[in-house]
Structure 1
Amino acid sequence: MSAPDDAPDNGPDSAARGERIAKWLARAGVASRRDAEKLVEDGKVRLNNQPVTHPATFVQPGDMVQVAGKVVDQPDRTRLWLYHKPDGLVTTHKDPEGRPTVFAALPPGLPRVVSVGRLDLNSEGLLLLTNDGALARQLELPANGWIRRYRVRVFGVVNERQLAELARGPVVDGIKYGPIEAGLDSQKGDNAWLTVALREGRNREIRRVMMSLGFHVSRLIRISYGPFQLSGLERSELQEVPGKVLREQLPKS
């Protein structure tokens, strides 16, 4: 068992130290890194049969980790999947309202996965899934500069000047959003299709911004997330990203 240490785990001797317990648990799919730290605080984590009392405890290859008395399997290699989420599913493992979830709809045999960001109940399109919780949080960071692109159908007659102003970063109900690129693709009667791109993706951001412009969103489809595209994926289809492609596309730390 590695002794607790307040030094960061990304220094020159990090390989010898191992990996911080919370990060290891996140990669193993037990919980998010923050929730894993809470498990440590609550005394539910043991390392080599010894209680873990400090979040800066390091795990080395071959160590045995237990959470609530159950042995946790060693983290698998980092994997990423593209999933075409249909509407009508919530992006959560358990829904208090009993609504169907993305994770219950996935094919059997997958390891425990988490989503990179979310798509709400009525949204559809590309959802990234990974078995590495730390990677999920990394890919969600706006600092990575990854653009999330959507096709959006709205009810209303679109003024393209209004769309252009979104590039300044709209303010809705006192909330300042980052710059949004929005363009009109087609207008037929009172229905219009837009392409919308942003780097942040807060909860229901596109719907709220469009509502502030007087438009009701009737369909929202995410078509890309960073370098990964929805094209070619049928509804509910799942496709793993090859390891070589994943390594090439991951943001460099």
Structure 2
Amino acid sequence: MPMVSVAQLLAKAKEGKYAVGAFNCNNMEIVQAIVAAAEAERAPVIIQASQGAIKYAGIEYIVALARLAADQSTIPVALHLDHGTSFEQCVKCIASGFTSVMIDGSKHPLDENIALTNRVLAVARAVGVSVEGELGKIGGTEDDIHVDERDVFFTEPAEALRFVQETGVDSFAPAFGTAHGQYKGRPELDFARLEKIYSLVPETPIVMHGSSGVPDEDIRRAIERGGVRKINIDTNIREQFVAGVKEAIAKNPAEIDPRKLLGPAKEKMIEIIREKIRLFGSSGQA
């Protein structure tokens, strides 16, 4: 079926009180794994591309792969720009066929972030593309974007309310203790802050970044009590991809057929993505 917008998927998730998985892709095998897992679970799914993915694969390849995967699927698929850093990049992704974009203006003062987000919204709304905004800095490293621990600050609930009211974003990513990349220990999430933000903006789906190392019980709590309706997963997919390749090489060090190395990697990715879909409550929601 044709690709849909993230806003469509999250509207249903809000009604059903579950979260939709947003899985980062970098190549064909990852795209195939994402959609195969979603098909197996009968779940809506978001394929998302980061700065690094676009730089590595090229925007045309990313769009073509996602569009083909969606066309051949029987479940709703959206294509989302993860951490768009500029108005120009968001517009390019919209023009190329993305059905959703994130404009990450969190490095700017609140007024500038609102203004930048509204510029992107003006273009996106005209063509039915959804927009995710962010307020507060989410720690860790994602591709070329790095936020040191000393630079992380959590989102102020009052500022979150102003941001959402003055932009009308389709989804909102606050900072409440998650981080990109692999965690060194158990993340300490500020649930009181998240739940306060949710109480102030109950109609706006909340997005959870840096979710790969978050314990299952914390994920469930964020969905049930924090209004989280979109959950981003990248690191877990990378871990399983590499583990699959390593295992295949260990079994046959002389192997030179890439298909016999990447095939097992794809199966391991499908397994972890299905596990996450079930955890998020979106299994059977297609």
TM-score (normalizing by structure 1) = 0.27
Higher relative contact order (CA 8 A, sep 6+): 2
Q: Which protein shows a greater Rg?
A: 1
TM-score (normalizing by structure 2) = 0.25
Kindly indicate which of the two structures has a greater share of residues assigned to helix: 2
Kindly indicate which of the two structures has a greater share of residues assigned to strand: 1
